[in-house]
Amino acid sequence: MSKFWSPAVRELTPYVPGEQPRERLIKLNTNENPYPPAPGVEAALRDFPADHLRRYPDPESRTLREALAAELGVTTEQVFVGNGSDEVLALAFQAFFRQGKPLEMPTISYSFYPVYCRLYEVERLAHPLDPQWRVDLDAFGNDSGGVIFANPNAPTGHGHGTEAIAGLLGRVSDAVVLIDEAYVDFGGESAVPLVEHFPNLLVTGTFSKSRSLAGLRLGYAVGSRELIEGLERVKDSFNSYPVDSLASALGIASLADPEHFEACREAVITTRERTRVRLEDLGFQVLPSQANFVLVSHPDFDAAQLLVGLRERGVLVRHFNTEVLRDHMRVSIGTDDEMDNLIEALESLCR
């Protein structure tokens, strides 16, 4: 540790992202979309005037927010955008969760949440999943500094419907409830329509998964005007030009092609269900998933050893070496050919 670090930095345990290997592997470890972005994205990238880069982008990202608002059925003033949903989440932690009361979340959810708690000195209160590995909505109470969880949840894949989310919001009304919908397009039910009825609801989303733009870093939030204004106040105190001009143009081009979006989304869902059946045929226990991944375990084989064996066979998946998850692997959904390679590798390992 450096003597120049502040005390808070010395105490941090940073988030560990999924490996981005340099060698050629079938990459099923970071929940990237196996299909390319909409063709209009490539056209917009090719036609983007380089001269525009000498000027700062629109600090309000107005055109992108208008396009997102039209897609989501809300007003432009209810939309916030940032550099990936991770940045939007970080701003939300600063804007809403430094309350002097604990922030409630599941024990198993997106592993960046505890990192942000440490970074922003937010007390965390974690609740176990229910016996079916679902987020236990009944565990969250109103006397807290807020609630946050992914829906569908990561890395388990289960998603609650809007009726269940509305029930939670009817009970938790005095603090912000943040629903992280990074994976909602793969079979989940979005809570965005509930924003009109619950001023404490903030829904975050990303272009990284269903829109195949993980390399672009573009995310958003939808909520009441008072919540969006809170995010804007923090953003303008930190980085008043968060989304660059090129990212805005490519995001808008992605939103303009609903047919491509639907085709890719349906392809991932179909391949996920096909893969689930084949994994179960090999003796794996597969949690039901509404995301672009599945969480799996095998009663007869160690997950860490399977991870090594898969890599030796050219397939990369994710293993979380924690007490609860060490027997599990998270497998991102790739193309049919990529998943065939996964199954062939597992067949050789699980004889």
Q: Residue 26 belongs to a domain with what CATH number?
A: 3.90.1150.10
Does 170 lie in the same domain as 319? Answer: no
What pLDDT, on the 0 to 100 scale, is given for residue 142?
A: 84
Determine, yes or no, domain membership for 311. yes
Does 331 lie in the same domain as 202? Answer: no
Does 304 lie in the same domain as 213? Answer: no
Q: Decide if 221 contacts 204 (C-beta within 8 A).
A: yes
The CA distances from residue 290 to 99, 184, 207, in Å, are: 32, 7, 17
Examine the fold and report which residue of 256, 288, 304 is the final residue of a domain before the chain moves on: 256
Examine the fold and report which residue of 217, 239, 256 is the final residue of a domain before the chain moves on: 256
Determine, yes or no, domain membership for 176. yes
Determine, yes or no, domain membership for 1. no
Examine the fold and report which residue of 238, 256, 274 is the final residue of a domain before the chain moves on: 256
Q: In what order do the strands lie in the sheet with 79-82?
A: 79-82, 219-223, 201-206, 177-180, 147-150, 103-106, 124-127
Determine, yes or no, domain membership for 9. no
Q: Which residues make beta-bridge pairs with 133?
A: none
Residues 6+ apart with CB under 8 A from 273: none
Determine, yes or no, domain membership for 8. no
**Torsion on CA atoms 128, 133, 139, 145, rounded to nearest 10:** 70
Q: Residue 162 belongs to a domain with what CATH number?
A: 3.40.640.10
Distance (Å, rounded) from C-alpha 242 to C-alpha 220?
12
Determine, yes or no, domain membership for 215. yes
Q: Which residues of 21-55 are buried (b: 16+ CB within 10 A; e: fewer)?
A: eeeeebbbbbbbbbbebbebbeebeeeeeeeeeee
How many residues does the structure list for the chain?
351
Does 188 lie in the same domain as 47? Answer: yes
What pLDDT, on the 0 to 100 scale, is given for residue 304?
A: 95
Distance (Å, rounded) from C-alpha 65 to C-alpha 67?
5
The burial class, CB within 10 Å (0-12 / 13-18 / 19+), for 67 is: buried
Does 236 lie in the same domain as 184? Answer: yes
Give residue-wise pLDDT tens across range 197-245: 999 999 999 999 999 999 999 999 999 999 999 999 999 999 999 999 9
Does 63 lie in the same domain as 25? Answer: no
Q: Domain count of the chain? A: 2
Distance (Å, rounded) from C-alpha 84 to C-alpha 215?
10
Does 64 lie in the same domain as 158? Answer: yes
Does 251 lie in the same domain as 299? Answer: no
Its pTM stands at 0.95
Determine, yes or no, domain membership for 95. yes
Give residue-wise pLDDT tens across range 165-186: 999 999 999 999 999 999 999 9
Does 323 lie in the same domain as 251? Answer: no
Give residue-wise pLDDT tens across range 23-42: 678 999 999 999 999 999 99
Does 130 lie in the same domain as 51? Answer: yes
- The tens-digit pLDDT sequence of the chain (351 residues) is 776 777 777 777 775 666 676 667 899 999 999 999 999 999 999 999 999 999 999 999 999 999 999 999 999 999 999 999 999 999 999 999 999 999 999 999 999 999 999 999 999 999 999 999 999 999 999 889 999 999 999 999 999 999 999 999 999 999 999 999 999 999 999 999 999 999 999 999 999 999 999 999 999 999 999 999 999 999 999 999 999 999 999 999 999 999 999 999 999 999 999 999 999 999 999 999 999 999 999 999 999 999 999 999 999 999 998 999 999 999 999 999 999 999 999 999 997
Does 154 lie in the same domain as 273? Answer: no
Determine, yes or no, domain membership for 7. no
Does 310 lie in the same domain as 227? Answer: no
* Three-state SS annotation for the chain: CCCCCCHHHHCCCCCCCCCCCCCCCEECCCCCCCCCCCHHHHHHHHHCCHHHHHCCCCCCCHHHHHHHHHHHCCCHHHEEEECHHHHHHHHHHHHHCCCCCCEEEECCCCCHHHHHHHHCCCCEEEECCCCCCCCCHHHCCCCCCCEEEECCCCCCCCCCCHHHHHHHHHHCCCCCEEEECCCHHHCCCCCHHHHHCCCCEEEEEECCCCCCCCCCCCEEEEECHHHHHHHHHHHCCCCCCCCCHHHHHHHHHHHCCHHHHHHHHHHHHHHHHHHHHHHHHCCCEECCCCCCEEEEEECCECHHHHHHHHHHCCEECECCCCCCCCCEEEEECCCHHHHHHHHHHHHHHCC
- The boundaries of the domain holding residue 148 are 39-256
Q: First vs last Cα of the chain: how many Å apart?
A: 46
